[in-house]
Amino acid sequence: MSFSEILYKILIQGGSYWTILKGLNSTVEISFYSLLLGTLLGAFVCALRMSKIKILRFAATVYIVILRGSPVLMLLMLMYYGVFARSSLEANVIAIVTFSLNVAAHIAELLRASISATDHGQVEAARTLGFSAWQGFRLITLPQVIKIAKPVYQSTIVNLIQWTSVVGYVSITDLTRVINNIASRTMQPMITISIGMLIYLGLAYIVHGIFALTDYLQARKEAVR
Amino acid sequence: MKKFLCALIFVFLLAGASFGAGKNFVDAGILTYLGTTEQEFQSGLDDLRKAVAPLLPADEDKGEWASYDRLEGFLDSLVQQRRVIHFYDSLLSMQMALRSHKIDEIALPEPVGMYLISNNPKYEIYFSLNMMPSTISFGFKHGNTALQKEFNTAILAMRKDGTLARLQKNFVLELPTGEPEAVKFTKFKDAQTIRVAVTGDLPPIDFIAADGTPTGYNTAILSEIGKRLKKNIRLVSIEAGARSAALAGERVDVVFWYRNTEGLKAPQKLKGKNLKNVMKDNLEGVILSEPYYEWDTDLIIGLAD
């Protein structure tokens, strides 16, 4: 069997490309919603982690330590086959909740580190000039936090996309599961998995491209000013 | 420092090469037996090897072993070279290990092995093991004896009226390379729906088609069972490694395949060596149906080069 015949069998025959697209859609959907929820939850956990109330700080620390220290597959299986076993929630929803919880712990620490890296004196100076606490945070701290956190946040998104490759264990047919099914059907694991890797790599570069675009737009905006 | 690191890497490479060169065993891959560990399996196999060695007849006395013809190839091979067993959760990872020379051979049920070599000429059959009849059964959560009984009744009836043989012929035996056709499920209004986990990891027995839908023997047999029980069947595609978790968490009612090793027994000459203690696939919390697929031969497959 020639290489082109193998490629045809893997990518085209029987509408295989459509199945791959559906799997890709599932991966992107889970990653996108998990990132959205995870970022919001991460910001909240970060606020708790930096709170002046000791018990809240402690609770946030425990959350971060547990979630960052446990493998996401174990957490996913525990949630799907244990915690939500009797619920009627769709597998996709449980996966999004799980990945949100996990990524939130990472984002909370990322935000905390970024906030710590900013100069608190600038906010104090702003306050003496009549800025409110919220204004000080929004106009002085937040832009710097975004700038500091951006490269690591980008890596976190790429990591999240890769972490979702375990959702086949909870009956979701994502990109990895589709690739595995095709590899089993065609008995061509090396080529099929290489194609799967290229698709994941493409996703990572799309994320990279989006961040590069935002950097470019920001630079242009500042140049116009 | 650089020179030291280069020297260190060279020493490691040399040590690795000499270790590999002196290898006097065969690294063999098999699909994970869920009811035992890799170490337990290895230890059982080593015990079996020790027990077999003194019993193996000399070439001129092979006649004495006439009743053990089916075992002969396996025993000879096992005694000649020790097998170091590696468990793999999926056929896919096992193939990858073989292709990357992490292991030397893999053992597969005959229909799966034939499908593999028919679809990829890079593999070839090293030898066949006509060791003992092997079977696959449906798995149910412990305590779900009502459903187990219903499935058993359907399977026994299908065996009796020749349906099982016909489905095996149409969807497995006469289908080494092609893709099986899709099977339609009959819908029963207001009837119970049975959720069945399929993995797609044991083609052509457990198979997922190009369009992502389970197709072939798994759907054919389940469609037939659904008709006989007058119940709806819903297929749930999961990873092979999550089969037992899916049953335990009651996400599915039935798992399409478990190797059924309850009936395995070594010949009388190997008293006390009950193979089912080694090849244990069924977990404590899982009960099995009557077998729905049986085969006599396992294929030992390796790279063609």
Are B257 and B202 spatial neighbours (Cβ–Cβ below 8 Å)?
yes
CB contact under 8 A, A171 and B96: no
B210 vs B20: which has the higher pLDDT: B210
Residue B241 lies in a domain: yes
Same domain, B143 and B251: yes
* Residues of chain B by 3-state class (helix, strand, coil), percent to 5: 45, 25, 35
Provide the domain count of chain B.
2
Q: pLDDT band at B24, cuts 50/70/90?
A: confident
Task: Say what percent of chain A tops pLDDT 70.
Answer: 100
Residues in chain A, overall count: 225
Question: Nearest-CA residue of chain B relative to A14?
Answer: B210
Given a cut of 70, whether residue B21 has pLDDT beyond it is: no
How far is the C-alpha of B212 from the C-alpha of B7, rounded, in Å?
Answer: 51
- Average pLDDT in chain B: 80
Residue B7 lies in a domain: no
Q: What is the pLDDT of residue A152?
A: 94
Same domain, B138 and B284: yes
Q: pLDDT band at B46, cuts 50/70/90?
A: confident
Q: What is the pLDDT of residue A115?
A: 94
Our separate counts of H helices and E strands in chain B read: 9, 11
Q: pLDDT band at B1, cuts 50/70/90?
A: low
Q: What is the pLDDT of residue B33?
A: 80
- CATH number for the domain spanning A97: value is 1.10.3720.10
Pairing of strands B254-260, B134-141: antiparallel
Are B83 and B29 spatial neighbours (Cβ–Cβ below 8 Å)?
no
Nearest CA-CA distance, residue B95 and chain A, Å: 7
The answer for residues whose C-beta is within 8 angstroms of residue B25's C-beta and 6 or more apart is: B81, B82, B83, B84
- Rg of chain A's alpha carbons, rounded to an integer? 21
Residue B182 lies in a domain: yes
A8 vs B72: which has the higher pLDDT: A8
Q: pLDDT band at B281, cuts 50/70/90?
A: low
Q: Hey, how many other C-beta atoms are within 10 angstroms of the C-beta on B121?
A: 9
CB contact under 8 A, A19 and B212: yes
Hey, which residues does B208 pair with through a beta bridge? Answer: B214
Q: Hey, how many other C-beta atoms are within 10 angstroms of the C-beta on B231?
A: 16
Quote the distance between the C-alpha of residue A16 and its chain's center.
Answer: 27
Taking the CA atoms of B34, B39, B42 and B47 in sequence, report the sign of the dihedral they define: negative
Q: Does B245 touch chain A (CB under 8 A)?
A: yes
Q: pLDDT tens for residues A41-80?
A: 999 999 999 999 999 999 999 999 999 999 999 999 999 9
Contacts of A43-52 with CB under 8 Å at 24 or more apart are A43/A107, A43/A108, A43/A111, A44/A104, A45/A104, A45/A105, A45/A107, A45/A108, A46/A107, A46/A108, A46/A109, A46/A111, A46/A112, A46/A115, A49/A108, A49/A109, A49/A112, A50/A112, A50/A115
Its domain, for residue B158, covers: 134-295
Nearest CA-CA distance, residue B52 and chain A, Å: 35
CB contact under 8 A, A177 and B237: yes
Q: What is the pLDDT of residue A176?
A: 94
Question: Nearest-CA residue of chain A relative to B181?
Answer: A14
Same domain, B79 and B206: no
Same domain, B184 and B278: yes
Are B82 and B275 spatial neighbours (Cβ–Cβ below 8 Å)?
no
Q: pLDDT tens for residues B56-96?
A: 666 555 554 444 444 555 666 667 778 899 998 888 889 98
Structure-token pair, residue B235: 């297929």
Map tokens 């010949």 to a residue: B267
The domain boundary residue, chosen from B82, B114, B129: B129
Most confident of A143-152, B22-31, B68-77, B235-244: A143-152
Same domain, B139 and B86: no
Taking the CA atoms of B136, B137, B140 and B143 in sequence, report the sign of the dihedral they define: negative
Residue B10 lies in a domain: no
Q: Which residues of chain B lie closer than 8 angstroms to A171, CB-CB?
A: 197, 236-238, 246, 251
Residue B288 lies in a domain: yes
B44 vs A215: which has the higher pLDDT: A215
Q: pLDDT tens for residues B206-230?
A: 888 888 888 888 899 999 999 999 9
B209 vs A95: which has the higher pLDDT: A95
Same domain, B101 and B228: no
Question: What angle separates helix A16-49 from helix A54-69, to the nearest 10 degrees?
Answer: 150
Structure-token pair, residue B68: 């053990």
A81 → closest Cβ in B91, B241, B249: B249
Closest CA to B53 of B76, B27, B69: B76
Structure-token pair, residue B3: 């020179």
Same domain, B108 and B142: no
Q: Which residues of chain A lie closer than 8 angstroms to B236, CB-CB?
A: 171
- Average pLDDT in chain A: 93
Question: Nearest-CA residue of chain A relative to B207?
Answer: A185
Residue B12 lies in a domain: no
Nearest CA-CA distance, residue B224 and chain A, Å: 23
Same domain, B278 and B149: yes
Hey, which residues does B88 pair with through a beta bridge? Answer: B31
Helices (H), B180-289: 217-229, 243-248
Q: What is the pLDDT of residue B41?
A: 81
Given a cut of 50, whether residue B239 has pLDDT beyond it is: yes
Nearest CA-CA distance, residue B99 and chain A, Å: 8
What ipTM does the predicted assembly reach? 0.74
Interface of A with B (CB under 8 A): 1, 13-16, 18-19, 22-23, 77, 80-82, 85-86, 168-171, 173, 177-178, 180-190, 193
The domain boundary residue, chosen from B79, B107, B129: B129
- Rounded to an integer, the average pLDDT of B149-158 is 95
Same domain, B30 and B112: yes
Q: pLDDT band at B98, cuts 50/70/90?
A: very high
Nearest CA-CA distance, residue B96 and chain A, Å: 7
How far is the C-alpha of B40 from the C-alpha of B178, rounded, in Å?
Answer: 38
Given a cut of 90, whether residue B38 has pLDDT beyond it is: no
The domain boundary residue, chosen from B101, B129, B157: B129
B20 vs A32: which has the higher pLDDT: A32
Same domain, B49 and B171: no
How far is the C-alpha of A103 from the C-alpha of A42, rounded, in Å?
Answer: 7
Structure-token pair, residue B127: 């030898």
Least confident of A89-103, B101-115, B280-294: B280-294
- Rounded to an integer, the average pLDDT of B142-158 is 94
- CATH number for the domain spanning B252: value is 3.40.190
Given a cut of 90, whether residue B172 has pLDDT beyond it is: no
A213 vs B24: which has the higher pLDDT: A213
CB contact under 8 A, A15 and B115: no
Q: pLDDT band at B245, cuts 50/70/90?
A: confident
Provide the domain count of chain A.
1
Residue B124 lies in a domain: yes
Q: What stretches of chain A adopt beta strand conformation (E)?
A: none
Q: Which residues of chain A lie closer than 8 angstroms to B250, CB-CB?
A: 85-86
Task: Say what percent of chain B tops pLDDT 90.
Answer: 24
Q: What is the pLDDT of residue B66?
A: 45
Q: What is the pLDDT of residue B48?
A: 73
φ, ψ at B208 (rounded to 5°): -120, 125
Hey, which residues does B214 pair with through a beta bridge? Answer: B208
A46 vs B99: which has the higher pLDDT: A46
Closest CA to A60 of A20, A108, A103, A129: A108
Q: What is the pLDDT of residue A101?
A: 97
Given a cut of 80, whether residue B287 has pLDDT beyond it is: yes
Same domain, B176 and B196: yes
Structure-token pair, residue A129: 């000039």
Q: pLDDT tens for residues A179-212?
A: 988 988 888 888 999 999 999 999 999 999 999 9
Interface of B with A in 261-300 (CB under 8 A): none
Its domain, for residue A50, covers: 3-224
A81 → closest Cβ in B201, B211, B245: B245
How far is the C-alpha of A86 from the C-alpha of B155, rounded, in Å?
Answer: 30
The verdict on whether omega for the bond into residue B204 sits within 30 degrees of 0, i.e. cis, is yes
CB contact under 8 A, A189 and B96: yes
How far is the C-alpha of A161 from the C-alpha of B151, rounded, in Å?
Answer: 40
Q: What is the pLDDT of residue B68?
A: 46
Same domain, B110 and B198: no
Residue B13 lies in a domain: no
Most confident of B217-226, B252-261, B295-304: B217-226
Structure-token pair, residue A144: 């710097």
Helix (H, G, I), strand (E, B) or coil at A63: helix
Pairing of strands B193-198, B254-260: parallel
Half-sphere exposure of B261 (CA within 13 A, CB side): 17
